[in-house]
Amino acid sequence: MTKKILFPAIDLKDGQCVRLKLGEMDSATVYNDDPAAQAKAFEEMGFEWLHVVDLDGAKAGHPVNHRVIGEIVDAAGTIPVQVGGGIRDEAAIETYLDRGVEFVILGTRAVSEPHFVSDVGVEFPGRIIVGLDAKDGMVATDGWSKLSNHTVADLAQQYEQDGVVAIIHTDISRDGMMQGLNVEATRALAAELTIPVIASGGVTNMDDIEALLTAEDDGVAGAVIGRAIYEGTLDFTAARELVNARKQNASGA
C-alpha cells in the first residue's frame, strides 16, 4: 500500500453523507445528501484517497449502500477508494472489487472469525485492510456496540501474517468528537507491526496533522479525517502543504 497521509471520510447512512459522534447512529449529522458529489468535491480539493464506510451495512451485517458506493467510485475518477461496513463474506468483497473499489476493509467478522482474514487474504491478495476499532486497547465490533476480549496489538499481528496490507486504528472514544488524534496509541500499535497503520478518530486541526507527521517514521501512514473537514476546523490546503514539505525534506529535495 502506497503511503498517503490524508483520507477524507464519507460515512453513509440512508444514502446520505453523515458523521456520527462516538459511533451512535442517532447522533448523525447530515453534511451532504449527494455522496457522489461529495466525492467529486474531494477530488477537486486535491485529496489522493477516499475512505468510505457503509454505516447501515455495519449495523445490518451486510452491504446496504452498495449502489451509492458505486456512484462514489465513478465520481472519484482516478482517486482510489477504500470501503468498509458490513463486509462479511467473499461475495461482498468480490462485488466491491469488481465495481472498482481499491481496498476492502474488514471489521466485525475479522474479529469474530480471524481465519476468515486468512482465507480472503489468499483469495484477494493485496486488497484487504482490517479496521480495528478500539477502546482502552480492546477491540469493539458490531458497529462499536460490543467490546471483544481481544487486544488491538494481538489481532493486528495475526492479520499481518495473513497478508492484510494495512490496519486502520480507530479510537472510538474520540471519533467524531474533535478532541484530537490519539497519536500515541496508534504509534504504539505501529511499533508492533511492519505493515502501515492508519489513524482514525479525533482529527481536529493542524496540531493533529503535525503530531501525525512525527509518527510517520514509526509506521503511522496517515489519518482518516471526517468532521474536521466538513466543519472547516482543518485547513486542508495548509495540511497538504505541510505534508508535501515533509516528504520533500525526507527525500532531500
Helix, strand, or coil here: 167? strand
Residue 207 annotated as catalytic: no
Annotated catalytic residue within 56, 133, 162, 208: 133
- Cβ(84)–Cβ(59) below 8 Å: no
Q: Cβ distance 152 to 134 under 8 Å?
A: yes
CB atoms within 10 A of CB 246: 17
What's the gap between Cα 167 and its chain centre? 9
What is the distance between the alpha carbons of residues 112 and 109, in angstroms, rounded to a whole number? Answer: 5
Which of the 8 DSSP states describes residue 65? S
Query: Which grid cell is 108?
Result: 466485525
Catalytic-residue membership of 162: no
Closest CA to 84 of 224, 252, 197: 224
The Cα–Cα gap between 70 and 165 comes to: 23
Query: Could you give the residue numbers annotated as active site?
Result: 11, 133
